[in-house]
């Protein structure tokens, strides 16, 4: 089968001919129709510090996918050949205290598909049945292929009650933009999204009814005044990984404000924790998606009108992968979906 693999410890990704994976009794074999390119895949492509210390080579990468089940393992009872599916990309153990309490997303042994084990940038992928999410007919394959990052956005946006609240989102990458759409969908009053990239801010305003702010040349206080906001934002969703963005977010929060942190800073940074103390701010780290409540809420919101399709800016054939990865690593795309059919 065709697969995109990290073949060498250097910048790049390579199309290879790989054997179709053999499934175990608790797995299913998925024929991949569409895959999304994630920031993680770009880190692996660029072979940055994180990738060098994390990714075994050779390794088929990719974890955002939609496809169809073509074989099921002997123990699998709840899934059938022919079902359209996507799935959770974090593989968890069942023996930790958290897992035994049903909080699988807190399992300390979590491994990533396409990061620690063979991924889904391939014509076929082996996935544990536990991780499979059947797709309703109303959710097509290209949306199915971006449920993993949409799930990150859902997990972050639903960390705190947003009904009637003023929300600031830092970072208008694909996840920040989807987070903004979710905040509006669940009933936030004002949603302000910040970035320093005008194209990404323009896309944010196309996807959702939000106020885009370019913090390179606009003052957040002016924006707040325009919106008749007096004290500050009630909730912040940090989706840039930028230390400057977090600092700015805290400075524009109400007393007792709440922040959900999804963005991953590239390296440790200096930070004035006293602002968190004196403003009595709550900080909550977010990793992955809750298994499986995030998935339930995500599918339910999509079925009740949440529309994030415009965040997909590029639809390409997998044979054009070189161009796709160039676009992604130059930051010239929001979500890119590759077609494997
Ligand atoms: N915790 C998790 O499980 C998890 C999962 C997926 C992604 N992430 C992280 O979430 C973040 C968002 O993912 P993405 O794919 O949308 O990322 P992205 O890199 O495409 O978007 C980040 C955006 O932040 C913007 N930015 C940079 N400096 C800024 C500033 N000072 N103020 C406002 N915006 C600024 C960038 O211009 C960019 O558009 C990334 O940091 C990613 O690593 C975390
Ligand atoms: Zn991803």
**311 Cα to the center of ligand 1, angstroms:** 14
Strand-pair category, 335-339 with 312-317: parallel
Task: Look at ligand 1, atom 43, and give the residue with the nearest C-alpha.
Answer: 264
Residues facing 14 on adjacent strands: 5
Per-residue pLDDT of the chain (341 residues; tens, 9 = 90+): 999 999 999 999 999 999 999 999 999 999 999 999 999 999 999 999 999 999 999 999 999 999 999 999 999 999 999 999 999 999 999 999 999 999 999 999 999 999 999 999 999 999 999 999 999 999 999 999 999 999 999 999 999 999 999 999 999 999 999 999 999 999 999 999 999 999 999 999 999 999 999 999 999 999 999 999 999 999 999 999 999 999 999 999 999 999 999 999 989 999 999 999 999 999 999 999 999 999 999 999 999 999 999 999 999 999 999 999 999 999 899 999 999 99
Second-level CATH architecture of 2-146+308-339: Alpha-Beta Complex (3.90)
Asked if 154 contacts 297 with a C-beta cutoff of 8 angstroms, the reply is: yes
Give the HSE-up count for residue 170: Cα atoms under 13 Å, Cβ half-sphere: 28
Ligand lying nearest the CA atom of residue 62: 2
> 164 exposed, middle or buried (CB, 10 Å; 0-12, 13-18, 19+)?
exposed
Mutate to test the pocket of ligand 1, among 173, 201, 238, 246 (most ligand atoms within 8 A of CB): 173
pLDDT, residue 60, reads 98
Catalytic residue set:
40, 43
pLDDT, residue 268, reads 93
Task: Look at ligand 1, atom 36, and give the residue with the nearest C-alpha.
Answer: 171
Superfamily of domain 153-285: NAD(P)-binding Rossmann-like Domain (3.40.50.720)
Asked if 156 contacts 132 with a C-beta cutoff of 8 angstroms, the reply is: no
pLDDT, residue 272, reads 96
pLDDT in tens, 163-175: 999 999 999 999 9
pLDDT, residue 168, reads 99
Asked if 131 contacts 87 with a C-beta cutoff of 8 angstroms, the reply is: yes
**57 Cα to the center of ligand 1, angstroms:** 26
Residues with CB under 6 A from ligand 1: 39, 152, 170-176, 194-197, 200, 215, 239-242, 244-245, 262-264, 286-288
Cα–Cα distance for residue pair 195/152, rounded to 1 Å: 19
Ligand lying nearest the CA atom of residue 176: 1
Q: In the chain, where are the structural domains located?
A: 2-146+308-339, 153-285
pLDDT, residue 119, reads 98
Cα–Cα distance for residue pair 28/84, rounded to 1 Å: 12
**147 Cα to the center of ligand 2, angstroms:** 9
Cα–Cα distance for residue pair 93/102, rounded to 1 Å: 11
- The greatest distance separating any two alpha carbons of the chain, rounded to the nearest whole angstrom, comes to 62
Asked if 6 contacts 43 with a C-beta cutoff of 8 angstroms, the reply is: no
Asked if 98 contacts 109 with a C-beta cutoff of 8 angstroms, the reply is: no
pLDDT, residue 306, reads 98
pLDDT, residue 204, reads 98
Ligand lying nearest the CA atom of residue 196: 1
Cα–Cα distance for residue pair 313/191, rounded to 1 Å: 22
Task: Look at ligand 1, atom 15, and give the residue with the nearest C-alpha.
Answer: 39
Cα–Cα distance for residue pair 339/341, rounded to 1 Å: 6
Whole-structure pTM over 0.95, yes or no? yes
Compute CA 168 distance to the chain's CA centroid, rounded to the nearest angstrom: 18
- For the CA of 194, the closest atom of ligand 1 is 33
**334 Cα to the center of ligand 2, angstroms:** 13
pLDDT, residue 107, reads 98
**145 Cα to the center of ligand 2, angstroms:** 10
3-class DSSP state of 219: coil
Task: Look at ligand 1, atom 12, and give the residue with the nearest C-alpha.
Answer: 239
């Amino acid at each position: 089968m065709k697969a995109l693999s990290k073949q060498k410890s250097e910048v790049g990704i390579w199309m290879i001919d790989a054997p179709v994976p053999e499934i175990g009794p608790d797995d299913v074999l998925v024929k991949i129709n569409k895959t999304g390119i994630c920031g993680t895949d770009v880190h692996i492509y660029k072979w940055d510090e994180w990738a060098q210390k994390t990714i075994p080579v050779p390794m088929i990468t990719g974890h955002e996918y939609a496809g169809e089940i073509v074989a099921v393992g002997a123990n699998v009872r709840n899934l059938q050949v022919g079902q359209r599916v996507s799935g959770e990309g974090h593989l968890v153990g069942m023996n930790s205290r958290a897992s035994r309490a049903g909080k699988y997303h807190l399992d300390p042994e979590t491994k990533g598909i396409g990061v620690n084990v063979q991924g889904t940038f391939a014509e076929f992928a082996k996935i544990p049945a536990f991780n499979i999410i059947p797709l309703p007919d109303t959710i097509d394959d290209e949306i199915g292929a971006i449920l993993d990052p949409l799930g990150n956005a859902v997990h972050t946006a639903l960390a705190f009650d947003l009904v009637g609240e003023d929300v600031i989102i830092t970072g208008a990458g694909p996840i920040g933009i989807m987070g903004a759409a979710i905040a509006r969908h669940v009933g936030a009053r004002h949603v302000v999204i910040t970035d320093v990239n005008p194209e990404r801010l323009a896309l944010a305003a196309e996807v959702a009814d939000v106020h885009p702010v370019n913090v390179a040349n606009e003052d957040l206080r002016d924006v707040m005044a325009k919106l008749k906001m007096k004290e500050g934002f009630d909730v912040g969703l940090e989706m840039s990984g930028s230390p400057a963005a977090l600092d700015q977010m805290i400075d524009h929060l109400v007393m007792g404000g709440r922040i959900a942190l999804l963005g991953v800073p590239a390296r440790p940074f200096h930070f004035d924790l006293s602002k968190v103390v004196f403003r009595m701010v709550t900080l909550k780290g977010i990793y992955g998606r809750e298994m499986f409540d995030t998935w339930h809420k995500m599918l339910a919101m999509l079925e009740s009108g949440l529309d994030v399709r415009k965040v997909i800016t590029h639809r390409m054939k997998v044979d054009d992968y070189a161009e796709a990865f160039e676009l992604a690593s130059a930051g010239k795309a929001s979500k890119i979906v590759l077609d494997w059919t």
